[in-house]
């Protein structure tokens, strides 16, 4: 809506969004019940449309690089707004990817090629969006100090249950009762797993994602295994509260909202 400058300080003025951020709802047991399935789906579709605009319809292509629950703000009607473009990169419409020696982002949302090689593209945002879909449906964080059976992250656990046909066990208890929406839930989990596939070339672009979300009859591809799905806890290990370490001088921020 505007900006202001004073000395070296620069500030952007945004519209006031009274419902805070998405993580305020999906990771809180009391507030989560306020999000029924229709509202969850509306939020998922709204984020997808926002990313599609950034990747394709904006005058300059924008790669956000930090898509996560705390960066999705909610207005009075719970419509999602993508925020915090401090790490975003702009490209001409002909460019699709770039490389950086200084990796910045949030642990648990970073695509593997970005975390290990500094290579980022629109498919990096697609990966983060896939993680976000799973968190919305499951109601738990991908990373942190949670452990899902013998998996250290939500992606491996989700893939494990999906491959065994037990995907319904992933859905948060507050949504399971809406049994007439189970087909939509299954499709969203399928789409999320397509978005978090290990190889960027296997992931859909946001145009494909929006099309898949808007159709109830379109046949969806079967996803390949996600990134990090093999990260498990050795049986002799015990849980630790240590912060995750990083090679290659990666800057990792907390997935929790500020």
The string over 95-127, giving b where at least 16 C-beta atoms fall within 10 Å of a residue's C-beta and e elsewhere, is: eeeeeeeebbbbbbbbbbbbbeebbbbbbbbbb
Domain residue spans in the chain?
29-214
Q: pTM to 2 decimals?
A: 0.85
Say if residue 252's pLDDT is above 90: no
Q: Has 125 been annotated as catalytic? A: no
Q: Which of 66, 75, 95, 202 is catalytic?
A: 66
Q: Return the H-helix or E-strand segment holding 251.
A: strand 251-253
Residue 14 is predicted with a pLDDT of 85
* 3-class secondary-structure state, position 77: coil
pLDDT band (50, 70, 90) for residue 247: very low
Classify domain 29-214 by CATH number. 1.10.510.10
* Digit-coded pLDDT (tens) for 170-196: 999 999 888 889 999 999 999 999 999
pLDDT of residue 220: 96
Residue 243 has pLDDT above 60, yes or no: no
Mean pLDDT of 205-224: 95
């Amino acid at each position: 809506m505007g900006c202001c400058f004073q000395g070296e300080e620069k500030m952007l003025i945004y519209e006031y969004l009274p419902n805070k951020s998405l993580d305020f709802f999906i990771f809180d047991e009391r507030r989560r019940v306020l999000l029924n399935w229709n509202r969850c789906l509306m939020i998922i579709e709204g984020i997808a449309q926002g990313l599609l605009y950034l990747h394709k319809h904006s005058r300059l292509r924008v790669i956000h690089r930090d898509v996560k629950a705390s960066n999705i703000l909610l207005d009075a009607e719970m419509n999602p707004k993508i925020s915090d473009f401090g790490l975003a990169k702009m490209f001409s419409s002909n460019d699709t990817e770039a490389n950086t020696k200084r990796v910045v982002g949030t642990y648990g949302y970073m695509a593997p090629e970005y975390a290990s090689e500094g290579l980022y593209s629109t498919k990096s945002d697609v990966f983060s969006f896939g993680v976000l879909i799973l968190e919305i449906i499951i109601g738990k964080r991908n990373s942190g100090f949670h452990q899902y059976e013998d998996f250290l992250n939500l992606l491996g656990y989700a893939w494990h249950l999906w491959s065994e046909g037990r995907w319904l066990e992933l859905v948060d208890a507050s949504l399971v009762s809406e049994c007439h929406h189970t087909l939509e839930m299954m499709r969203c989990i399928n789409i999320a797993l397509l978005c978090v596939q290990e190889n960027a070339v296997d992931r859909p672009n946001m145009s494909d994602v929006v099309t898949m979300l808007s159709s109830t009859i379109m046949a969806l591809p079967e996803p390949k295994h996600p990134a990090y799905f093999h990260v498990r806890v050795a049986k002799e290990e015990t849980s630790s509260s240590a912060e995750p370490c990083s090679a290659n001088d990666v800057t990792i921020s907390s997935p929790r909202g500020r």
